A = this chain, B = another copy of it.
Amino acid sequence: MNSVTCDLTMSLDGYIAGPNQSMSEPLGEGGEDLHRWMFEEPEANAAAIEGILLAGAFIMGRNMYAGPGPGPWNEDWRGWWGDEPPYHAPVFVLTHHPRPPLKMKGGTTFNFVSDGIESALAQAREAAAGKDIAVAGGAKTVQQYLSAGLIDELRLHTAPLILGGGERLLDSVGNLRLEPLDVSGTSLVTHVRYRVVR
């Protein structure tokens, strides 16, 4: 059966976004630096980057789609990623406010799911047509899926910097046990692939 994966980049002190997230700085202060490995070392990190986008369907939280706070949550908001988002696959957005699917260029369709994380996963699994399903973020969404035991493989990309505050990934996830499957890295990131042990 297809796996449920989750790729996240976090700081050495455990944050996936810095302090004071805002519409103009959605990753918070210093948060952009987390992703230097993707932009400055695409070749050295090619396998990790490919792994992120290999899924047949994605799930994301409302904040990841529309930003923190009340945000631009209206019919006109089309995400952060321009006309052609990098997913090239169906994306299921968790929200309390249902709205019709939004078809973007390049194969990405945003689908809005208001009946919970298990329903979103079932829909994503169906849409993935045998490929993996990726839980894309943010922290709260990943925490919900981890706590519910619904993630098979957690791939942590640790950036060697300290954010000192912000949105922490591994809070409130219960007593997880994980098993490292492999490790690799560059001077800007350490990749560890974990199997979540049930």
Contact = CB atoms under 8 A, between A and B. Distances in A.
Given A13-B14, A14-B13, A192-B190, A174 B183 contact: no
Contacts of A185: 180, 183, 192
Interface string A144-161: 000000000000101011
A177 interface: yes
A176 B30 CA distance: 12
Given A12-B170, A171-B13, A161 B183 contact: no
B160 A164 contact: no
Nearest to A11: B170
B12 A178 contact: yes
A12, A156, A189 interface centre (most CB from chain B within 10 Å): A12
A187 interface: yes
B161 A176 contact: yes
A127 interface: no
Interface string A163-186: 010000011011111111001111
B164 A178 contact: no
Given A160-B194, A183-B185, A185-B183, A13 B170 contact: yes
B180 A170 contact: no
Interface in A121-159: 156, 158
15 contacts: A12-B156, A12-B170, A13-B171, A14-B170, A30-B175, A160-B178, A160-B179, A161-B177, A162-B174, A180-B185, A180-B186, A180-B187, A183-B184, A183-B190, A190-B190
Given A160-B178, A161-B175, A180-B190, 18 more contacts: A12-B176, A12-B178, A13-B173, A30-B175, A160-B179, A160-B194, A161-B177, A161-B178, A162-B170, A162-B173, A162-B175, A162-B176, A164-B175, A180-B186, A180-B187, A183-B183, A183-B185, A183-B190
